[in-house]
Each structure stands twice: as C-alpha cells, then as structure tokens.
Amino acid sequence: MSNRRSFLQRALGLGASLVATPALLGGQPTSHSTHTTGGSNAAFNTPVITTDVGDMPFTMDGNTKVFHLVAQVVRQQIAPDKTLDLWGFNGSSPGPTFQVIEGDHVRIVFENQLPEPCSIHWHGFEDRIGFDGMPGISQEPTRPGETFVYEFDIHQTGTYFYHSHMAMQEMAGMLGAFIMHPHVPYQPHCDKDFALHFQEYAVLPNNTVPNTMEMSEYNWLLINGKAGPMATPLIIRQGDRVRLRLINLGMDHHPIHVHGHTFHTTGTEGGRIPQTAWWPGNTVLVGVAQARDVEFVANNPGDWMLHCHLPHHMMNQMHSDVGGTPVSNGPLTQRMTNSAMRAMMNGMMAGKPPQSAEQMRNMMSMDMSSGAVQEQDRNVAPNAADVANFPQDAYMEGPMMNMEHTREVKDLPENYGLRSGWSSNMQGMMAFLRVLPPEMYDTILGRMRDAKRPNEPYASLLAERRQA
C-alpha cells in the first residue's frame, strides 16, 4: 500500500503547501492498491504521461499554481538519423504538458525568447477575452524579450492544448497539451493515461529547418516529437484500462488506428462525452485542431502498433527521385531506377561523391552491412524489375532499414524484449502500445527506473511502483 496523495503531488509537481488541501487534489484517497484491473471505481485522477515530452512544473503562490512558459528555439532529434531546428517551449517541441484540476486558479508567466513577436492561444478555454492570445485582437503580441501573464480559473475538464497563434510558428513546433482533470474523477477509472501529439514537417534533403510554407507534402511524421522507430512505446500492464488523448495541431487529418483492441471514443477537445453517447471502433479520425479521447481495457498481450493510417504517414523522408533519376511505376523506368539506386548506394559506401555530415548520419543509422544488403536482395523476386509498379515498399522497409544498432533505439528501456528486426518496419507516425504480462511489465519498469533519465515522462508511474 502507498500514499496516493503524496504520489500525485510528486507526479503533478504539487508544492508542500498542498499536503493538507484535499479539494485541490480532487478528493484523493489516502491509500491505494498498486494495481487495478480493467477500470475500477478508484476515486483519483491518474496522472497523464506524455512520452518523449514530460510535464510542465509549477510552484505555488498561495492557492495559485504558477507556471513559467518560455518560447524558444529548440534543436531536437526526431529520429536516429535526423535532428531538426524547431521552435518550441521550455526546451521541447511539443512543449511540456500542463496538468491542473478543476477548481484550480492558474497563472502562466509567458516569456518570449524568440526573435519575433508571439502570443499564446489556450485552445478550447472558456475564459476572459483578454487571455485568449489573439495578437492585435485580445492582446498586443509579446515582443522578443518581453513577458505576458495569463490567468485562468479552471472550470472545465478534459483534453485541451496551447499553441502560438502565429500560424507559421505553430507549424515550426509551437504547441503543447493542457490537461484539466475533473474534481470528481471520471468513471470507470483508467490505470494508464497517455497524451499523444501528431505532427508533420516538410524538410528538404540535407536540411534541418522545416519549410513552414509547405501546404501538402510532408516527409517527417511524428508522435510526441519523434518519428518511428524513435517514438517511445506506451508501457501498459495486461488488464489495465487505458485512456489515449490524441491531439492534432498540424496541417493534415490523421485517422489513428490501434491494433489488437477495440476502444470507445469518450471525449473531444470540447470535454467528456456522456457515456450513453460513446462509440466503439479501432480507428478514429483526429482532424486538425481536434482532440479525441479513447479508452479500452488492454486485455490482449502483445507489442501492438498505434499509427496514423494514411499510407504516406507510415514512412520517413520520402523522395520522388533516386540519384537524380525520377521514379515512376513501370518495368522500363524501374530498371533504370534500380540501377540508379544501386549506383547511389555503392557510391555512398565508397564516399563518391563526398557526403555531407547529414548524409553520413543518415547512412550510418541504417544497416548497410553485407548481410543486410544480401537479405534485402533475397526479399526481391528475380524478375522484379519486369513487373509493373515495382518497387513499392521493397526499398522502404526491410533489413537495410533496421536501426536497432543505433544508441537512440537500442538503449531505450521501453524497447527491451521487442522482436529482432522490428525497427525496419517502424517508420513515420508509428509507436508501440506494449501490453505486457506482469513479469515483463515489472522488468521493463525496473530498467526504466535504473536509467535515471532527466525529466522522465514516466516519472508518475515509476514513483508509484517505487512506493509499492
């Protein structure tokens, strides 16, 4: 048994002044069991986990929760072979997740460290016009080096978000989640609660700055700021009831599909849906500027995929030419394409022409060993070049796309125990939903705890296990 109130204080960053303030904790009980199964009637709010992002800390000024939000340039690795120069908040894109409770009074001190004006819109908030964040309409934009203070009385509940109300800045990565927990917790209780952001960037080859003027062609598709295979898996114990908060603040709609389970849609960016109106499915369309909350009991063990089902959103760094040769589908052009691809690969291995540092990182992140090349060849029929529409996925997935040897992938505790070769088919807007039997679940949590990572997104879960 453990003290749930002290756990939630640590998980949500609550100050010592709240130790004896049950009203601000949503009626948290004094103790809880270490595990509930399939959605009990437990009377506490499970802290939200935003993988690869983490939470926004706060301090207390009397009964006011005070947050410091900083807009700044962020250099962020999104894949083993790709680092981008983005704009975000507090060192991250997406920015850290706010977690508050219905009835809280909240003050957000916004500081602009960008080289141009900015203002923050609090998406879905029902509050005073002066804090809506519309530059030139509800407030003057915050200039470089200036601050602006937003204050809110939280009377809503659900999944909301914040973002720059400058359109191009939003496309450069300036967004984040704002979770309003209910004072009386939702039922049935969820054992795990995750927030997932879906983003897309258009990045030209050998470049690190997204083209925010692009309107339709995106080649890097991310979940919580990471592209597969670098997106951190969701770690779930078999039997847990799970809530996924799916957030889309990009330029494209995303039909999000969960393998192996049937969920119910229980909320939108407008708050909780009455239970009588929940609807079942395994794919839910999350439109631009929308959120969808889905819930299910994770009763089917396995390493299940969660991904956008738009085909081009399940790929990384797509190009329509190879070594300067345009790609089109047909036997004659594909013979030329195959030849160009092999010549390009051989040239890269030999360093001819000389490769930039970015190109070398891209090449070294993939498995270019002779064994992988031979295995890739064995996957292709001898007459493949004579077949119309070849290749489709032959050179986009397979042994040579394996990235499990990279430090970013192999050292991640959440990846422990995955099947060998998994990363060669994990690209773009994809992540694992790992439903684990108790022994494997405890093993992985132990590895996560031993990693002692700074700004641990799973901190609330690890703190709970440590107290058990």
Distance CA 343, CA 325 (A): 11
Report the relative pairing of strands 271-272 and 192-201 from DSSP bridges: unpaired
What is the pTM (predicted TM-score) of this model?
A: 0.83
DSSP secondary structure letters along 82-148: EEEEEEEETTBSSEEEEEEETT-EEEEEEEE-SSS-B-EEEET----GGGS--BTTTBPPBPTT-EE
The tens-digit pLDDT sequence of the chain (468 residues) is 344 344 344 444 433 333 333 333 333 332 333 444 565 677 799 999 999 999 999 999 999 999 999 999 999 999 988 999 999 999 999 999 999 999 999 999 999 999 999 999 999 999 999 999 999 999 999 999 999 999 999 999 999 999 999 989 999 999 999 999 999 999 999 999 999 999 999 998 778 999 998 888 888 999 999 999 999 999 999 999 999 999 999 889 999 999 999 999 999 999 999 999 999 999 999 999 999 999 999 999 999 999 999 888 877 766 555 455 554 444 445 555 556 556 666 666 666 656 556 555 555 555 555 565 566 667 778 787 777 777 666 655 665 567 788 888 889 999 999 999 888 888 889 999 999 999 999 999 999 999 999 889 999 899 865 554
Distance CA 262, CA 248 (A): 21
Handedness of CA 219, 223, 228, 229 (dihedral sign): positive
Pull the structure tokens for residue 346: 């051989």
| Other beta carbons less than 10 A from residue 194's beta carbon | 22
Handedness of CA 131, 133, 134, 135 (dihedral sign): positive
DSSP secondary structure letters along 352-387: -SPPPHHHHHHHHHS--SHHHHHHHHHTS-TTGGGS
Distance CA 256, CA 267 (A): 15
| Residue pair 98/144 in contact by the 8 Å Cβ criterion | no
Domains of the chain (ranges, CATH numbers): 4-314+437-467 (2.60.40.420)
